[in-house]
Structure 1
């Protein structure tokens, strides 16, 4: 049980929050999780330094092998001997979804004699105060992890055996052009695949091919619309040349030649190899072009005041701009609003010292949240989360009619949670007491400047042009600071 108390110099903690898993029944946002962890740390008298507020806001953080900088930083902090408490939101969520992570966490807690707290657990995680319960939880996590590893090993072994013999791997979604499982050709779809390759090899772009298939009302394997990404997957996939893949690589025989599958190809091997070479060359050229692209430091902060969409860095006729990619609400036509990138960046950087001064020399970065959500989206999310709680109760009571609405509300909340923005909690540490003259701001490293901007600015609204387009109008720009 956590008791109220004043901060104790011997109580140093680290906070960790991960985005809610897609199957979570509550869908609590990272910003909400951080707030609950901070409140728990305050009640327990635990000091949490800004650099020890560690977050992983991406849904991919639940995927095996994905980059999780917040989680890796947490484990490093716990192993450092510099903290006494770990405040982790959703310990039992880890147990259900990624038991290997829970095992790693509990192992460090045991090795270093740490206290583990969780605002989502009963009594703030009082169960973790008991060594026998903690060990039982660790044993369950290790057992579940071993079971998953054995299953993964057996699946990989079966896939490798099938790949070596040329059998289709089966399972998953149906590949366009083939039946599910046996990989029998679907003749009309196989003809479409052949046309896709022919178009691509004669210079048609992926987007042109996607538009053409959509115009012809050709459905995808899942019945949806074609996109350039889906077309690219067909061109990249070795299956259409009858080649077997295992572990993301072509299966090759003892002489190094690709192993042919037991199914019929849709295109000749020579066509697939030519298309692959063309794709690789295009990607290389695109990467080379990006290396010389202009950097847009306000990316993610600039919004169109008309349609609400973010404005992205875009060079038009060698003129760098932030341009809106949204559509007008009235007629759904493209918005086309843009603003000079150079002048906007100059205007914003001129305001940074004043925004710092507005915080005041006594502002405490330790109390400033690292994850924030704008007020309008936060209000909509609160409404949706309340409705989700009602629907969960109705489902538990045996009301199947609420199932579809529950899925829709969950999708809305996940979209709202994706609008959460992160900032480095220690971005302005050392800058508040002395202020930041413009000359010193310009001398800061670009990475630190980016952290300071995102710490201070919630978003930048760009309004309509009211004068000549050749004259930059600062009055059309509204810099909205973070509310917290």
Structure 2
């Protein structure tokens, strides 16, 4: 898109950012937006979009994976990247901000903005309320680079001083007072909030009584016990509030306990250590292998969601779980449902005609070709990412090429998964029934979905017939042509 030299942006983007919003009211970015809109009116710019980076640092970097597969330290700012993409594509024709340091405190981010601004002729207009951000000529660019370098050093100096102060506070057993308020304590002075302290003690008792974190969070949510942030409890937040050293009156720094804190404990140390040991033991003993192999195969006939394995009062079952967004109206005994589906599957695959057809599918040259094409396309994606990283192509060219290849990859994977799951050949090699019994739960599920791609719909239980298991409740959605 070519813009005349005298053109005034009418589709500009206003980017506002605040690095720390402890009050969580976004007032800082709100003031920046108001001032930015006034500047736009004064300049005659049309603002088409406001991008908000609330509680987002332009200095702190995280380790991320780059498109070429390597890792590097980068600032994580999705809205800033969105602004660059829209300016680069021509969707937006100008950039407004409050100040240069609202746009960049990392020289790499500034260089990316400069690249986008200078890629158009004439340059994309950039303005700020304070006048510190201008990139209309080489002198402006040089000044921006100097100012970002100074801002970056100031941030590094601040980080170093804060880190040193935290070490001193930790050594003295004092609380640093930063971040969110810790559950059970006031933000300042670390005074105990008795209502929350009782919740922590209850959680500790439940853990030591063998209750699961999910059971505990369900109880807390049902009782409408508030969290610090106001969000519902989850297993992670339950674990966090009861295992933090602060609840035992201990001061920690960088994950290490450095000594007693200068505040009262909510849990005595022996209880806290017992809770931590109990939860750590549960993590070590967790078996993450799939147990209920009809998970992803069964669907609720009422709300059409997937039904997953769950532990009920009568033992293992498949349930349309309400905590996972289901209706809660459909449940079926796990062992009996698995036995019935296994019976149907073995009945199908032991028929000579179906065995012959499945054997042909498992050895099909079509899937072999799809596998070879998949390997080639995945290699090409890596090569493409490298070309973009080396700036051998534009972002638009990279995205267009990547979409074409990714569509081919999806097609190849769908063909491979639909035609021949990896366990199919092992199943057909010899005694089918014996091989089925030796399959893992995940492999059994893959075989079922090869024969019944849409899975099974679970119908409601007919109460007029009593409690016995009703096999007809499991209705196959669609049986593959091989069957």
TM-score by length of 1: 0.45
Between 1 and 2, higher relative CO (CA 8 Å, sep ≥ 6) is seen in: 1
Task: Decide which structure has the larger Cα Rg and report it.
Answer: 2
**TM-score, L = length of structure 2:** 0.45
